[in-house]
Amino acid sequence: MSADADYADAPRIPPIPPRPPHRPAAPPADEDPRTTVLRPVPADPTVPPPAAPATPSATPPAARQPLPAETAQAPAPPAPAAPPRPSASPTTPPPPRTEPPAAPPRPGRTPRSFRDTAAFHLANSAPLWDESSDRPASPPPPAAPPPPPAWPAPPARPTADEPAPRRPLADRLPGTRVVAAAAGLVLGVGLIVGAAAGSWLAEAPAKGAPTPESIFAKGQDAWRNTPVDTLFPRTVEGLAAGPGGADRTWTRIAVAPDTDCTARYEGPLAKELAPAGCARLLRATYVDATRTHVITVGAQTTRADRSGMMDLNARFSTNDLADHKALMPLPLAAKGTPAEDFGPAQRASWTVRILTDVPVVVYTVSGFADGREITDPQPADAAVQPGTATTAAESGLGHDAKGLADKISATFRTASGVPAQSTEVAS
């Protein structure tokens, strides 16, 4: 007996029905173009859906009665438990739609966001691969630079039998022409500079140097056009102007107002200077560095011309009028200064200078600042002589009178336009 006959009467388990097919819900509309492109295509509505399985009956079929032999051979197996009854029948899917849904319109232009997707690049990569074979080949690498030219081979040395060619002297001594050209250039420049300097020196007196007449004319107004500090400097330095070549320094302590030339200010000297006339008289008093010597200096501007000043100088030199004690200038005693006691009795030395290049007469007179009287005054030219044993010579008052007269004469000459000499200049 077959196995099917043995289990013919056994209760059968109903088969599990398959899952009913169902249509997935339509995806929500999205603005992203990828949703439209990748949306699945719906199935063909003409194909009917599969039939639903039969619903099992509630009453199972009657069990087959076992045969006597089966009963005797083996014990009867226990009856299987009945499967649980479903609570409700499976849901029947809705009938399919008779018309397929209309597909969304294809965008006329590929959105910009789609261009960045893999699908866009895959769809447009074929032309790029096809054009790769049509592209021109890459340019060949640049050629290597040409090698540098080889050094020229040295000329072959002549053999012992063949004498070497002798180069010209200009080639053997290349500096000869250069030296000659430089020498010619220096010589030419020297000639040009010498000619220019000669012409300048020849024309200088006619153009720039003042004439004696212009100097004399300017000297007549020097007292008016020149500051007093220029004519009578505040400090005058006399290098080697003292006894034994000692330096002297004189400081101005008083300046008198400009006055007329009268005996009140000049004494008997005014009478001797009267033939030359008097334009103005200027006076000042100085003191030495030790403040023990005082010196009065006067400058009288005359009205004489050049010949008149020459006559005045000749008369004073011929008659030794500058050395007469009676013609000794008067001092300027300023109150409240070291010279306030400087009177006629304190005069120790003096000098008178008649200038011929400018219309000016310069004179000086010196004495002690403590007011002591001098009984043997001496002219400055005599007191400065070596070996003189007078009071004026030993004290240095003669050197003070002579040195300060030289300095003030130089300031008036400079103010009149006389070229500077190689002498000391008052400061």
What is the CA angle 337-343-344, rounded to 5?
A: 155
Q: Considering the chain, what percentage of its residues have pLDDT values greater than 90?
A: 44
Write out the DSSP string of 111-176.
-TGGGGSHHHHHHHHHHHHHHTTTSPPPPPPPPPPPPPPPPPPPPPPPPSSSPPPPPPHHHH-THH
Tokens representing 267 are 């004494």
Bridge partners (DSSP) of residue 335 are: none
Q: What DSSP state is assigned to residue 248?
A: E
More confident residue, 102 or 364: 364
Q: CA 2, CA 25: separation in Å to the nearest integer?
A: 51
More confident residue, 241 or 251: 251
C-alpha closest to that of 14 among 85, 78, 66, 64: 85
More confident residue, 171 or 293: 293
More confident residue, 209 or 152: 209
Whether the pLDDT of residue 194 is over 70: the answer is yes
Supply the pLDDT for residue 129. Answer: 61
Whether the pLDDT of residue 42 is over 50: the answer is yes
More confident residue, 155 or 79: 155
Sheet holding 293-301, edge to edge: 235-238, 248-259, 280-288, 293-301, 360-368, 347-354, 378-379
Classify 394 as helix, strand or coil.
helix
What is the CA angle 154-157-163, rounded to 5?
A: 140
Supply the pLDDT for residue 183. Answer: 78
* Average pLDDT score over residue span 72-89: 52
Supply the pLDDT for residue 69. Answer: 45
* Average pLDDT score over residue span 10-19: 64
Query: Is the whole model's pTM more than 0.75, yes or no?
Result: no
Q: CA 126, CA 133: separation in Å to the nearest integer?
A: 12
Supply the pLDDT for residue 405. Answer: 96
C-alpha closest to that of 249 among 421, 368, 411, 426: 426
The band of 187, judged by pLDDT with boundaries at 50, 70 and 90, is confident
Whether the pLDDT of residue 259 is over 50: the answer is yes
* Average pLDDT score over residue span 193-205: 65
Q: CA 411, CA 218: separation in Å to the nearest integer?
A: 13
Whether the pLDDT of residue 414 is over 80: the answer is yes
